[in-house]
């Protein structure tokens, strides 16, 4: 059935398409009561200060209290952020977020004694305590990880200062979120048929696929020009974010912001640098894809604003949300009936907030932090195949969180960001495989194959391009240089043009693309973006094994989703069958990309 957009007024959206937060707290009075309970727990932490080395039982009590505080804090924080994200204009919801952030800082300050005391005990004493107290077994990985990070853990007083810095740490990201979603003066444009469109984030994502080329050019130019007018504001925000990362780097004695970010999850630096090098070496494949898109669109010169439009213009593939759900659930069959049963609950039990509405944050995410309930998915569904792919992407995160929370005790349930995007991109691979096996129409198949290549461009090459930009701006600040909006624009445009083969027969990257960095919230997530690319290479390798009918591979993959954070992500992925310290996953991804382009060329 054709997709019919719902009104942007949230009150007009049926409840079935909005998430139900009552399972977290019935209302804000209950939420405030939980806050009071959390504060009482935090106040009792002081009784363990200076006593952790006295007895294994005391250490266990302290860690169990800390774990309970963390679980309750995550629940309270999720309730506040979920409300704020559906209406970024609300001062009340923003105040709730700020309240809980201050409590989080207080928790960090009042638990600052734990790691220094553990380091004073030393490895032998910690191991002896683990052997003497069975209850400490669940904390084994945490305790060993604390000892691993010994060189970057400071004294108790210094740790308290670092924790207190959290009062300011979220300011750049918080300002960016509110300004770019609620207060930014988004432009209104008139399309070739006289239709006017208010180009907020969701509308831009929807209308950048416009079939009329002049409309696309107008949409990109208007949106980016509006952003560019505020380049100084966006620039100072991102500069402050990088300075925040610089502070933590120096405070903990790391040689670079990158190493500071990767060390927590024990990710080798070589993984990051190898990704950038492999992507650069594989740019000819990206340029081959761009040439294919140029041919399919039948344009003399491919522009950046042509990258999102469907390549078969007469074929308007749209899906109602119900159709999307049926398609996704069918695609998950290789993972078994139990996996699909839980996934179906996400659609039927209001785990999702589906449609865009005024004031709602843009993009999509899955939040699995509420350990005792279920994950929540935020979407801005517009009915295109990309939107269907986004739903299954976020559902992959949700299933990862659900299985980890169900299988692991809370202390080991939270998985690393490095492995997080594996489950999401794995689901996308299953969806594409299912669709291609059920579609025989040549034009539809061509459209979907190119859509898959679009995904590789966006997830592997584009995110690696972002990672190169992010590393470059951090290295500039580490050298003592400052970042301005103009400098960021210049750097971003240069890197983007190098990736897309600007002026060399690839894609023309117009000057207004220089401000695109201001559209990317992930630059406020401290070296997050590269993990989209590494996870895609890992999930592609895993999906090919599962789709080949390898039962053992399927079992290993489901075990990965159930492992939470009981080990380091590199080790968990190796146990699942992928070694991320080598180049093989990336090479396999490039071979798959080449095979898909071969099929596109045969269809042509």
Distance CA 367, CA 91 (A): 22
- For the CA atoms of 534, 536, 540, 546, what is the dihedral angle to 10 degrees? 100
Going from N- to C-terminal start, the domains of the chain cover 23-169, 185-218, 219-314+462-524
Distance CA 559, CA 569 (A): 13
Distance CA 364, CA 391 (A): 8
What is the dihedral sign for C-alpha 513, 517, 520, 521? negative
Distance CA 304, CA 496 (A): 10
Could you say which of 159, 394, 421, 428 is catalytic? 394
Give the pairing type, strands 188-190 and 196-198: antiparallel
Distance CA 37, CA 44 (A): 11
Burial class of residue 58, CB neighbours in 10 A (0-12, 13-18, 19+): middle
CA-based radius of gyration for the chain: 24
CA-nearest of 243, 240, 272, 242 to 259 is 272
- SS3 of 184-251: the string is CCCCEEECCCCCEEECCHHHHHHHCCCCCHHHHHHHHHHHHHHHHCCHHHHHHHHHHHHHHHHHHHHH
Where the chain has pLDDT below 70, the residues are 1-2, 314, 316
Distance CA 521, CA 366 (A): 15
Q: Please list, in sequence order, all residues whose beta carbon lies within 8 angstroms of the beta carbon of residue 79, skipping any fewer than 6 positions away.
A: 21, 24, 25, 31
CA-nearest of 580, 516, 30 to 226 is 516
CA-nearest of 120, 114, 93, 111 to 178 is 93
CA-nearest of 481, 490, 497, 484 to 515 is 490
Helix (H) or strand (E) holding 365: strand 365-367
Distance CA 403, CA 138 (A): 17
489-526: b or e for each residue (b if 16 or more CB lie within 10 Å)?
Answer: bebbbebbbbbbbbeeebbbbbebbbbbbbebbbbbeb
From residue 87, how far is each of 177, 178, 489 by CA, in Å? Answer: 12, 10, 30
Q: Tell me the pLDDT tens digit for each residue of 430-439.
A: 999 999 999 8
CA-nearest of 425, 373, 405, 434 to 561 is 405
CA-nearest of 425, 430, 405, 424 to 415 is 405
Q: Please list, in sequence order, all residues whose beta carbon lies within 8 angstroms of the beta carbon of residue 8, skipping any fewer than 6 positions away.
A: 356, 357, 358
Q: How many C-beta neighbours within 10 Å does residue 353 have?
A: 25
User: CA-based angle 442:445:450, to the nearest 5?
Assistant: 125
CA-nearest of 255, 304, 574, 313 to 443 is 313
Distance CA 205, CA 193 (A): 19
- What would be the CATH architecture of the domain defined by 23-169? Up-down Bundle (1.20)
CATH topology for the 219-314+462-524 domain? 1.10.1370
Distance, first Cα to last Cα, the chain: 28
Q: What SS3 state is found at 165?
A: coil
Distance CA 240, CA 238 (A): 5
Distance CA 472, CA 517 (A): 13
Report residue 366 as tokens: 């899955």
Distance CA 143, CA 601 (A): 54
Report residue 144 as tokens: 């060993």
CA-nearest of 230, 258, 73 to 166 is 73
User: CA-based angle 69:98:414, to the nearest 5?
Assistant: 40
412-429: b or e for each residue (b if 16 or more CB lie within 10 Å)?
Answer: bbbbbbbbbbbbbbbbbb
Q: What is the DSSP string of 419-483?
A: HHHHHHHHHHHHHHHHHHHH---HHHHHHHHHHHHHHHIIIIIHHHHHHHHHHHHHHHHHTT---
The residue whose two tokens read 């960021």 is: 488
2-24: b or e for each residue (b if 16 or more CB lie within 10 Å)?
Answer: ebeebebebeebeeeebbebeeb
Would you call 516 a catalytic residue per the annotation? no
Region label for 82, one of left (φ > 0), alpha (ψ between -120 and 50) or beta (otherwise): alpha
Report residue 273 as tokens: 């640098």
């Amino acid at each position: 059935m054709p997709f019919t957009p719902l009104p942007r007024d949230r009150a007009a959206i049926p409840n079935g398409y909005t998430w139900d937060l009552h399972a977290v707290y019935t209302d804000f009075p209950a939420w405030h009561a939980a806050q009071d309970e959390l504060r009482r727990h935090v106040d009792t932490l002081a009784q363990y200060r200076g006593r952790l080395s006295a007895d294994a039982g005391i250490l266990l009590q302290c860690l169990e209290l800390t774990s309970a505080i963390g679980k309750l804090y995550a629940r309270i924080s999720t309730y506040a952020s979920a409300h704020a994200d559906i209406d970024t204009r609300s001062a009340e919801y923003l105040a709730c977020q700020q309240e809980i952030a201050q409590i989080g800082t207080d928790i960090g300050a009042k638990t600052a004694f734990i790691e220094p005391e553990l380091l004073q005990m030393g490895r032998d004493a910690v191991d002896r305590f683990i052997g003497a107290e069975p209850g400490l077994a669940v904390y084994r990985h945490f305790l060993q990880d604390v000892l691993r990070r010994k060189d970057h853990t400071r004294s108790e007083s210094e740790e308290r200062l670092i924790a207190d810095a959290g009062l300011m740490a979220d300011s750049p990201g918080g300002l960016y979120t509110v300004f770019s979603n609620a207060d930014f003066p988004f432009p209104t444009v008139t399309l070739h048929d006289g239709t006017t469109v208010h180009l907020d984030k969701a509308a831009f994502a929807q209308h950048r696929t416009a079939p009329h080329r002049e409309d696309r050019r107008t949409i990109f130019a208007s949106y980016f020009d509006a952003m560019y007018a505020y380049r100084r504001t966006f620039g100072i925000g991102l500069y402050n974010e990088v300075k925040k990362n610089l502070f933590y780097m120096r405070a903990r004695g790391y040689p670079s912001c990158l190493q500071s970010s990767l060390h927590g999850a024990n990710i080798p630096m070589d993984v990051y640098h190898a990704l950038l090098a492999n992507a650069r070496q594989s740019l000819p494949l990206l340029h081959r894809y761009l040439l294919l898109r140029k041919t399919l669109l039948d344009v003399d010169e491919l522009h950046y604003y042509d990258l999102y439009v469907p390549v078969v213009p007469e074929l308007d593939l749209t899906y109602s949300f119900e159709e999307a759900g049926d398609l996704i659930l069918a695609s998950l069959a290789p993972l078994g009936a139990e996996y699909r049963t839980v996934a179906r609950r996400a659609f039927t039990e209001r785990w999702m907030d589906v449609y865009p509405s005024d004031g709602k944050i843009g993009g999509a995410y899955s939040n699995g932090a509420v350990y005792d309930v279920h994950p929540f998915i935020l979407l801005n569904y517009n009915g295109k195949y990309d939107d269907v792919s986004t739903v299954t992407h976020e559902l992959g995160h949700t299933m990862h969180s659900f299985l980890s929370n169900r299988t692991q005790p809370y202390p080991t349930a939270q998985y690393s960001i490095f492995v997080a995007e594996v489950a999401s991109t794995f689901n996308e691979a299953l969806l594409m495989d299912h669709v291609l096996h059920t579609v025989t129409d040549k034009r539809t198949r061509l459209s979907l194959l190119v859509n898959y290549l679009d995904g590789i461009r966006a997830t592997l090459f584009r995110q690696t391009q972002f990672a190169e930009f992010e590393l470059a701006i951090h290295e500039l600040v580490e050298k003592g240089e400052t970042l301005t909006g103009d400098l960021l624009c210049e750097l971003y445009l240069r890197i983007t043009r190098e990736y897309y083969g600007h002026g060399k027969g690839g894609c023309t990257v117009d000057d207004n693309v220089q401000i695109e960095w201001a559209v990317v919230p992930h630059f406020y997530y401290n070296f997050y973006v590269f993990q989209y690319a590494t996870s895609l290479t890992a999930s592609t390798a895993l999906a090919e094994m599962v789709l080949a009918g390898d039962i053992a591979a399927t079992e290993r993959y489901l075990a990965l989703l159930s492992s939470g954070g009981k080990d380091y992500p590199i080790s968990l992925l190796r146990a699942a069958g992928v070694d991320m310290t080598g180049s093989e996953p990336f090479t396999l991804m490039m071979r798959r990309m080449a095979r898909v382009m071969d099929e596109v060329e045969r269809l042509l």
